[in-house]
Amino acid sequence: MAERRVTIGWAEGLHARPASIFVRAATAAGVPITIAKGDGTPVNAASMLAVLGLGAQGGEEVVLASDADDAEVALDRLAKLVAEGLEELPETV
């Protein structure tokens, strides 16, 4: 299983707009991805309710993971999005 540990770069954490941006990017990744707060229980990264339910705050660590064979690039792109608090998914890593 591939994973990326990343600190949330959005000051407000994964709430409202940042969560929406993240969920859209996770859905567009085309591979199943989970997100967990620290070492907590992973949830579906493509589910808005699940991501909001994490209650992840800015500066906290989350773990992005996938067991798909071609998940490395998708995880790198999502990790960059979360770490830098970007407003849209970067085109390149």
Residue with the two structure tokens 């992973």: 42
Check residue 86 and give its pLDDT. Answer: 85
Give the range of the structural domain holding residue 47, as residue numbers without chain letter: 2-84
Q: Are strands 2-7 and 34-37 parallel, antiparallel or unpaired?
A: unpaired
Check residue 55 and give its pLDDT. Answer: 95
Mean pLDDT across the chain, nearest whole number? 92
Show Cβ contacts of residue 36 under 8 Å, excluding neighbours closer than 6 positions.
Answer: 42, 43, 54, 62, 63, 65
Specify if 90 maps to a domain: no
Check residue 39 and give its pLDDT. Answer: 86
24 confidence band (pLDDT: 50, 70, 90) = very high
Point out which residues pair with 37 in neighbouring strands: 62
The domain tally of the chain equals 1
Catalytic annotation, residues = 15
Show Cβ contacts of residue 86 under 8 Å, excluding neighbours closer than 6 positions.
Answer: 9, 21, 80
pTM score of the predicted model: 0.91
Q: Would the pLDDT of 92 be above 60?
A: no
Specify if 91 maps to a domain: no
